[in-house]
Amino acid sequence: MKLLFAGTPQVAAYYLDFLHQNHEITLVVTQTKKASGRGLKPKESAVASYATANNLELIQTDDINSSEVIEKIKDSGAELGVVVAFGQMIRAEARKAVAKQFINLHFSQLPKLRGADPVAAAIRSGMNQTGISVFKLTEELDAGEIYSQLSIKISESDTTKDLFNKLLPLGAQGLSDSLELISKNHEPVPQSGAATYAPKTSNNDYKINWNLTGSEIRNLVRSGYGKKIAWSVYEQQVIKIVDLETSNISNFGKAGELLITDRVYVQASDVVLEIKEVIPAGRNQMKASDWVRGLRITAGFFE
């Protein structure tokens, strides 16, 4: 089947490569170059890099719905559009520019966790199962009819990165299944059940509230990824908490209070947590015991 592919980050490039091995990609659409790094130099997306390296027809645009881009989509000869982490809403006129319209790969079992951040949200919410959905793109966010849906268990130790890695091959299978169904003119099925949402988050959403339960705090820490890592404040300095676990010592103080021996403990609302790995302000990741050894303290409070 002749495909148009729309995506932007590395995870999208992974699926572009997968599809390129099995189908004809007549057009790739991605976001325009964005400033990044210390020098804020414009850098092309991972999808653009892959398309260029493999001599695929490429459009980099801030608006896939512009009349100019829509005409190029029509001229591409694509029968179906595939969207993975593109970053733009695709309106009706653009969707109808290909005969079979567009499908989207989403990293949850829709209608659960519609929105921009479903993998981290699954961890943060303490879910024990999630999955992928491939659905027909519509005007309403992540609400289209389902072609393929697959599930996977979430372990208590999974981080967002771990879960992403588990979901990658599941997404490839879902796309393969969906393309086969579409080639045979099978109709997708409506989503069922109550919708929940996973909106885009910011670094502020990762500030730890030590009045939460130990389980809630662990889930927040496990959900951190990229530049969004759980953090707290000690002596007016931001301390990123990379890893912690429930300890076996008894409650000893108020929420956020530190107890320091040869290990670093902090009181949550219901249990004591042991902090294992931190990133102090302006420093690299280190063991929590090394961090406090430099401070020469035996107690304290996180704000």
Q: Which domains does the chain carry?
A: 2-183 (3.40.50.170), 203-301 (3.10.25.10)
Give the residue-averaged pLDDT of 8-36. 93
Q: Which residues have CB under 8 Å from 10's CB, separation 6+?
A: 46
Q: How confident is the model over 272-287, as a mean pLDDT?
A: 96
3-state secondary structure 222-234: HHCECCECCEEEE
* pLDDT at 226 exceeding the cut of 80: yes
Instruction: Tell me what pLDDT residue 38 has.
Output: 60
Does the structure show a pLDDT above 70 at 190?
Answer: yes
The predicted model scores a pTM of 0.93
Instruction: Give the mean pLDDT of the chain.
Output: 95
pLDDT of residue 294: 82
CA distance 90 to 293: 53
pLDDT on residue 42: 79
At residue 40 the predicted structure's pLDDT band, cuts being 50, 70 and 90, is low
pLDDT at 300 over 70: yes
Cβ(101)–Cβ(95) below 8 Å: yes
CB atoms within 10 A of CB 37: 8
